[in-house]
Amino acid sequence: MQWVAAYVGAAVVFLSIEYVWLGKLAKSFYWSRLGELLRERPMASAAVIFYVTYIAGIVLFAVAPAVNTGTWQTSLLLGSLFGFFAYMTYDMTNLATLKNWPVSVAVVDVAWGTALTGVTALAGYFAAQSFQAPVG
């Protein structure tokens, strides 16, 4: 049950923050720089596959080690690093292979992914801790 709680807690936080970011706060930022590359409506199946697997990665690579060590700082650090490496891979690949991928998008996106994933891992950690059996 602890890992289900970690996943659900992480998913709720990740999806809620991501919705506000992509749907409200940064929508014009991305549209003004990537408009010709963006679909009018995102492909739902690809989005679902990304979110389901990425959140599982956060739980596996950031939340689980933090639960094992018992420190929220571990979840924040490992989550931030996981986000940094994942978003850096995506944005640097796009920068290297696409003709008009803006550097500003890469910088903002990597910073966003680092922060979002760190906060999500922290939420997953606290959700998992709420289901941990008491010691003693």
Per the CB < 8 A criterion, the answer to whether 125 and 13 are in contact is no
- Cβ contacts of 117 within 8 Å, gap of 6 or more: 14, 58, 62, 79, 80, 82, 83, 84, 86, 87
Look at residue 35 and tell me whether its pLDDT is greater than 90. Answer: no
How does pLDDT run across 42-100, given as a tens digit for each residue?
899 999 999 999 999 999 999 999 999 989 999 999 999 999 999 999 999 999 999 98
Local confidence band at 135 (pLDDT 50, 70, 90 cut-offs): low
- pTM of the predicted model over 0.75: yes
For every residue of 5-17, DSSP letters joined together read HHHHHHHHHHHHH
Per the CB < 8 A criterion, the answer to whether 125 and 118 are in contact is no
pLDDT the model gives residue 70? 86
Distance (Å, whole) CA 62 – CA 79 = 5
pLDDT the model gives residue 124? 98
Integer angstrom CA distances of residue 81 from 53, 75, 104, 111: 17, 10, 20, 11
How does pLDDT run across 7-21, given as a tens digit for each residue?
999 999 999 999 999
